[in-house]
A = this chain, B = another copy of it.
Amino acid sequence: MAPDPDARIRELFEFLRIPSISVRSEHTEDTRRAAEWVVGALDRAGLGGSLVETEGHPVALGEWRGAGKDAPTLLIYGHYDVQPPEPIELWTSPPFDPTIRDSRIYARGAADNKGQLFLHLKALEEVLSARATLPVNVVVLAEGEEEIASPNLLPFLERHRDRLNADAVLISDSAMFGPGLPCLLQSLRGLAYFEVRVRGTSQDLHSGSYGGAVANAATTLARMVATLHDDRGRVAVPGFYDRVLDWDGDVRDRVRELPFRETAFFEEAGALGPSGEVGYSTLERLWSRPTCEVNGLLSGYTGEGAKTVIPATAMAKVSCRLVPDQDPSEVGRLLRAHLDRVAPADVHVELDELAGGRPWRADLEGPFFEAARRALRSGFGVEPILVGEGASIPIVTELERLVGARAVLMGFALPGANMHAPDEWFPEAHVGLGIKTLVRYYEELERLLA
């Protein structure tokens, strides 16, 4: 029986309705419900789902070992947790009430990562229900802490190492290069995320009675943030670029030839035009260059009207996207040293590392990568291109290390999908195309491994 597209969408919507916001303690039960949903879907697919506890949110695990001991094993990794939806008021429809408009499924998690994890669950269900077999053993691992930097996944992987050993890791948590332009990832940026706190006084003070004679934490923080870049958009933290591997001329040329619609990119971002490090194209800035971004600022009075306070404290969330071979811990040390150097003597400065992940480069050889290339060509009718990705999937390098295999990253979202922003969406048509591609993946793998 052919799959019913409406039934699939209904099933996906069930999953998207669960507000599994892993960072918020008040959503702990919702996050568990999402894990249970995945376990149910694994059961329906024929992979015997189980919920495995961790110190934090549980892992949903499914296994099919029918290919036998000597056959290779594929580990599929995804996550069922989502980013917080704030600012809520900027969503056109509620973030946890999935809605189709203009052939797009709008919901928090539609692209990152519930929608894409769903494609794998359905593809496995279709192959196993049609043929009752797969060319490889398959383990599906869906965690609930990807959006909070996976604090409990590594202990989990270490504890279950024997069960999770694999010959390849397959992940769909990224985007295609454009509509009709499937791609395979050759690189991911890493992440080093910090919170900087400046304290000038023990309490907020009246700006008249004290203004001009005591440290202003907000002004000081702003001045410190302003030292993070030079006037050419280059990160001005000493040592920051020491480990950055420059792309060679060939790769730069290949990237420049890609059909990148720069105007559309800035239109989707609602930006006035290009910004960033002088001397690099937009795609180079996104794929090959590290960044240092302010993700949040908070200090003093931020409500309606005028309140004349000198803020006692000021906070900035600051994060760096890293490229090979930068190391998040080392970047933390460099940033700390820089802030200590530029901080004036009249304030206290604290720096916390909130999250980190290494940058990554793909292995472009082997049957698992080749099957992906062929499956995408078949699914979308066009040869996939090799691209970089500015975002991070911090777990990729750790997964590779712990399961002893290289990862293949094949994404089905589209650029501008608003992952981590209001109005996140996933193309409705890619539900069908994605499942078709992944079904084909197993067929190609069977041929290549034969």
Contact = CB atoms under 8 A, between A and B. Distances in A.
B296 A301 contact: yes
Contact of A213 (B87, B148, B282, B389): B282
Interface in A67-97: 83-84, 86-87, 90
Contacts of A211: 286, 291, 293, 321, 390
Interface residues of A, number: 100
B289 A212 contact: yes
A391 interface: yes
Contacts of A348: 272
Interface stretch (A124-132, A134-142, A160-168, A312-320): A312-320
Contacts of A404: none
A23 B300 CA distance: 16
Given A90-B204, A207-B291, 9 more contacts: A208-B389, A208-B390, A211-B291, A212-B276, A295-B308, A297-B297, A298-B298, A298-B299, A305-B355
A405 interface: no
A309 B421 contact: yes
23 contacts: A23-B303, A23-B307, A83-B307, A200-B272, A205-B421, A206-B391, A206-B420, A207-B321, A208-B321, A208-B391, A210-B286, A212-B290, A212-B321, A214-B275, A219-B229, A221-B222, A223-B226, A271-B346, A273-B346, A295-B301, A295-B307, A295-B308, A308-B420
A108 interface: no
Contacts of A300: 294-297, 317
A354 interface: yes
Contact of A392 (B90, B208, B271, B307): B208
A61 to B, nearest CB: 25
A41 interface: no
Nearest to A272: B346
A108 to B, nearest CB: 12
A408 interface: no
A255 interface: no
Contacts of A309: 295-296, 420-421
Residue from the set A149, A207, A309, A423 with the largest chain B CB neighbour count within 10 Å? A207
Interface string A392-406: 100000000000000
Contacts of A285: 212-213
Given A208-B392, A271-B214, A297-B297, A306 B286 contact: no
Interface in A301-344: 301-312, 314-317, 319, 321, 344
B291 A415 contact: no
A191 interface: yes
A203 B421 contact: yes
A355 B24 CA distance: 38
A275 to B, nearest CB: 4
Contacts of A219: 225, 228-229, 293-294
Nearest to A281: B213
Query: When A and B form their complex, which 4 residue pairs have the shortest distance between CB atoms, in order from nearest?
Result: A202-B270, A208-B391, A226-B226, A222-B225
Interface string A340-362: 00001111100000110000000
A296 B311 contact: yes
Contacts of A299: 294, 296-298
A219 B348 CA distance: 21
A216 interface: yes
A50 interface: no
A2 B276 CA distance: 75
A317 B307 contact: yes
A64 interface: no
